[in-house]
Amino acid sequence: MINIKSNREIEIMKESCQLAARTLNFIEDKIQAGMTTEDVNEICHKFITENGAYPSPLNYNGFPKSVCTSLNDVICHGIPSKKDKIKEGDILNVDVTTYYKNFHGDTNRTYFVGHVDPEIKRLVKVTYECMMAGIELCKPGARIGDIGAVIEEMAHDNGFSVVHEYCGHGIGREFHEDPQILHYGTRGTGVEMKPGMTFTIEPMINLGKRHCKLLKDGWTVVTKDKKPSAQFEHTILITESGFEILTLDPAKPYQPNFDE
């Protein structure tokens, strides 16, 4: 069942989403070679809780940490660990969801650590562009399948693959709501978008083949061929005339520079 949010609910949800975005802004210049993914988790946890919110992943279906940290060939749901040291040339995705005033805000970014191989940088850039292309199609009357279709086409045109097993989702008072947002598919299919719908778009794009493997910890998902994977995510709202990205910090909207 898809939850259509009222204007009041949207205003509150926007606060949670903006806090999630501020968390990613806060951690961005702190990520460096030599630290561990547990260090990233602790910094984000402190920032979220000091701003009056709760990190949604913590204890969600048994997940043990406050954020997901996915290094290199980890597609999603990487568990922060003191054993996972960040190195020069890595890419690291940090996935943050905040629970604030009874609403969740969900967003993630993939960061470069120092000098990154040009082809991997291109993967990250295209992944961001895939997400934005999917977002740009959102408006009342459009279909959920439109999002996946354009993401898949753009990824394939650039020689990359799209993970099928994990997807975006509705979000609001619940961390995961209907509908599911697949990152592949056919235009004109799926649920019709309506004003007041809120959901995430979060494509996972692989340098190699799309196939993945779930590790024994029950959470961490990696590429089967061990090649890098990248991801970006925004929570969006369907408005009367189009869309609004909720997970942007008004004081510092995210403007990626993939040439750094």
Lookup: tokens for 99: 């629970």
Residue 184 belongs to a domain: yes
pLDDT tens figures, 238-258 = 999 999 999 999 999 998 888
Query: How many domains does the chain divide into?
Result: 1
Residue partners of 178: CB distance under 8 A and separation at least 6: 1, 2, 3, 169, 170
Residue 96 belongs to a domain: yes
Residue 38 belongs to a domain: yes
Residue 176 belongs to a domain: yes
192 φ, ψ (degrees, to nearest 5): -80, 135
pLDDT tens figures, 161-191 = 999 999 999 999 999 999 999 999 999 999 9
Distance CA 11, CA 246 (A): 10
Distance CA 222, CA 62 (A): 19
Residue 260 pLDDT: 60
Least confident of 137-151, 154-168, 246-260: 246-260
Whole-Å CA distances, 92 to 30, 35, 101, 197: 12, 12, 29, 30
Cis status, amide bond into 256, omega within 30 of 0: no
Residue 85 belongs to a domain: yes
pLDDT-derived band at 193, boundaries 50, 70, 90: very high
pTM of this prediction exceeds 0.85 = yes
In this prediction, what percent of the chain has a pLDDT beyond 70?
100
pLDDT tens figures, 6-34 = 999 999 999 999 999 999 999 999 999 99
Distance CA 169, CA 92 (A): 22
Q: What is the CATH number of the domain that holds 238?
A: 3.90.230.10
With beta carbons less than 8 A apart as the criterion, state whether 27 and 107 touch. no
Whole-Å CA distances, 24 to 66, 68, 94: 13, 12, 8
Closest alpha carbon to 93 in 240, 237, 220: 220
Averaged pLDDT, 210-221: 98
Q: Report the chain's C-alpha Rg in angstroms.
A: 17
Residue 259 belongs to a domain: no
Q: What is the mean pLDDT of the chain?
A: 97
Distance CA 27, CA 46 (A): 11
Averaged pLDDT, 76-103: 98
Residue 259 pLDDT: 77
Whole-Å CA distances, 164 to 80, 114, 168, 210, 248: 24, 30, 11, 7, 26
Distance CA 44, CA 24 (A): 8
Averaged pLDDT, 117-139: 98
Residue 48 belongs to a domain: yes
Residue 151, domain extent: 7-245
Residue 93 belongs to a domain: yes
Distance CA 155, CA 194 (A): 27
